[in-house]
Amino acid sequence: MFRSLRALVLAIVVWSTASFQVLAQVEEHLGPLAGAVTLGVDGDWEARIQDGWFNLFNTVNSDSVQFYYTGEDPLTAGERDISVTTVLRGDGDTLSFTGLVFDHKENGNFQAISVSQTGDVGLLTYDENGFSLQAIDGAKARLDGSDVLEIRETPTKADLVLNGQVIHTVTSNGGFTPSYGIVAAGLGRFAYNGFTINTTQPEQPFPAPGGGNKQPFPAPGGGTTPQQQPFPAPGGGTTPAPMPQPGGGGTKPAPQPVPGQPTGTPQPASTPQQQASPQDIYVSQVLLGTTFGVFFHEFGHALIGETGLPATGPEEDTADEFSAFIMGAMVTDGTTDPIEKQSAIQIAQHAALFWYYSGLENAQQGGGFDWQDEHSPNLKRFRNMFCVLYGSEPG
C-alpha cells in the first residue's frame, strides 16, 4: 500500500512541477498576463507555445474572438507603458486581427490598438453595440514578427504606438480603466511575445529643511532615470514563409515547426528553478508545502475510514503523522537530482512550519483554544509533524 501511496505522491509532484513549467513558459512570453492564460483548447480556440511565441489558433469560426486581460492599480499620476510584440497569419478572406487591449471595463467593454492580416492598423472598440473599427491612416504593420504594439497611458490620454511611433491619441477626462491584455479575432494564427506593463511615477522633490519644495535631490551621477526603450526594429528583410521569429530578421535561431529543418546548435533547456528568482522559488515551496500537508492530512482520514485501519490516539494527530510520513517519503524515496531534492526538503519542512507560524500568530494575538475542537493546538501539531519528519531524515 505504501508503494502505491508513494506513487501517488510522486505523480502529484510531477503534475505540480509540470504546471510550474507551463506557467514559466507562458510567463516568458506574456509576463503579468500569464496567470489569466490556460494552454489547450478553449471553445473555437487553441492556445499553445510554438516557434518562440505564445500562439492562439482558430480554424473553425470566423466570428470568434478571444482575449485575455489583467488588472493594475489605478493610474493617478505619471505614465504607464503597455507593450507586446505580435504577428498574425489570416486564414481565409474574412477579417482577422490581433491587438493590444486597454481600458477593459467590468462590463466587458474595451479598446485596443489592432493590426489586421493585411497590416492595416486601427483603433478597435467594443461596447454595447458590438465591435467598431476606426482605421488609422498612414500606419502600416510589417507583419514580419517585429511589430510592437504599445499603449502609453496617462490619467487623461492614451497614445497608441506602432514600432516606436505615436499614430493616434485617445483622450478621457474620467481616466481609463487599469485593465490590459491581448485580443485575437477571426480565423488564423495569432502570436504574441514580450507582453509588459511598466508604470513610471513622477519623481518627488526631496524636501528642504523646514518644509517646502526646492530643487529635486540630484540622482547619483546626474541626469534622469532612463526610460524603457521600445522594442528594436529588425535589421530588414522580407516576410519569411514560416512563422516569423520574435524581433524580425534577427540571428537567434528558434525551434522549427517541421522536424528535420536546421535549427542551429541546440541549446539545453533551462529548468523552472533556473528561470525563477529565489523569492519565487521560496514562495512556491511554501505554497506547495502547505497544500500537500493539508491534502495528505485529509487523505489520511480517508485511508483510515475506508480501510478500517486502527488509529492510535486521536485520529487528527494520526492524520497529521500520516501526512508527515508521506512528505518525508517524497524526499527519501523521490528524486536524486540535488536541486529537486533540496526543493522537496523545503516543501516537507513548510508542511510542518505552517502550523508553527499559525500557532505562533495565535499566541501573539492572545487567542485561545477551543477545547471542543478535536484538532490539537497548532503548535502541538507542528511538533508532532516535525518529529516524524526529523525521524525520516529529510534534511
Give tens-digit pLDDT for 148-206: 999 999 999 999 999 999 999 999 988 899 999 999 999 999 999 999 999 998 877 77
Instruction: For residues 37 and 140, state if they share a domain.
Output: yes
Instruction: For residues 55 and 185, state if they share a domain.
Output: yes
Cell of 70: 489583467
User: Is residue 227 assigned to a domain?
Assistant: no
Domain containing 348 equals 276-365+374-391
Instruction: For residues 78 and 173, state if they share a domain.
Output: yes
**Residues 45-66 pLDDT 10s:** 999 999 999 999 999 999 999 9
For residue 115, give Cα distances in angstroms to 85, 149, 190: 11, 9, 11
- Per the prediction, the chain carries an average pLDDT of 80
User: Is residue 173 assigned to a domain?
Assistant: yes
CATH code assigned at 109? 2.60.120.560
**Residues 72-90 pLDDT 10s:** 999 999 999 999 999 999 8
Handedness of CA 346, 347, 349, 355 (dihedral sign): positive
User: Is residue 19 assigned to a domain?
Assistant: no
Query: What is the number of structural domains in the chain?
Result: 2
What's the pTM? Answer: 0.54
User: Is residue 340 assigned to a domain?
Assistant: yes
For residue 362, give Cα distances in angstroms to 79, 193, 293, 321: 43, 46, 20, 22
Instruction: For residues 88 and 182, state if they share a domain.
Output: yes
Range with the lowest mean pLDDT among 71-75, 217-221, 296-300, 314-318? 217-221
Q: Nearest CA to 175 among 32, 78, 69?
A: 78
User: Is residue 380 assigned to a domain?
Assistant: yes
What confidence tier does 375 reach under pLDDT thresholds 50, 70, 90? confident
Q: Nearest CA to 103 among 85, 79, 125?
A: 125
User: Is residue 325 assigned to a domain?
Assistant: yes
Instruction: For residues 136 and 35, state if they share a domain.
Output: yes
